[in-house]
Amino acid sequence: MGNFFLLLGMGLFTLVLLCLYRGVFGPGVLNRIAGICAIGTKTLVILLLMGFIYNRVEMFIDISMVYALLNFIGTITAAKYLEIKGDV
């Protein structure tokens, strides 16, 4: 079962790399924000899979919840910065 989670995590990691390409080279700011937001959600799942691999899910679930909350706030801040033209 550990191998299955490891393969799943590696697959998600390749997806993270693709999103990172969109975040770095993406044409325009909207593509960059969407790419970074997608990286956040994938990182959350990767953290939970690490918890399953190390048999300490109850510990990693705390970290992933904090990551989700801060990712939400960061995305709202970036979107608002864009909405009012360089003013949070």
Partner 1 sequence: MTRVTDDIIIRAVSRVLIPFIQLYALYVIMHGHYSPGGGFQGGVIMGASFILYLLTHGLEEARTKMSEIKAGVFSSFGLLIYSGIGLLCLILGSNYLDYGKLSTILKVIPAQARSLAILGVEIGVGITVMAVVFSVFFDISTGGITPEDEEDLGGRDG
Neighbours of 39 (CB within 10 A): 19
List the structure tokens of 39. 């990286």
Query: Closest CB to partner 1 among 55 and 83?
Result: 83
30 binding partner 1? (CB under 8 A): no
List the structure tokens of 68. 């989700």
Of positions 10, 66, 67, 82, contacts partner 1 by CB under 8 A: 66
Count of residues touching partner 1 (by CB under 8 A): 17
The answer to whether 5 touches 52, Cβ cutoff 8 Å, is yes
Residues forming contacts to partner 1 in the complex (CB under 8 A) are: 58-59, 62-63, 65-66, 69-70, 72-73, 76-77, 80, 83-84, 87-88
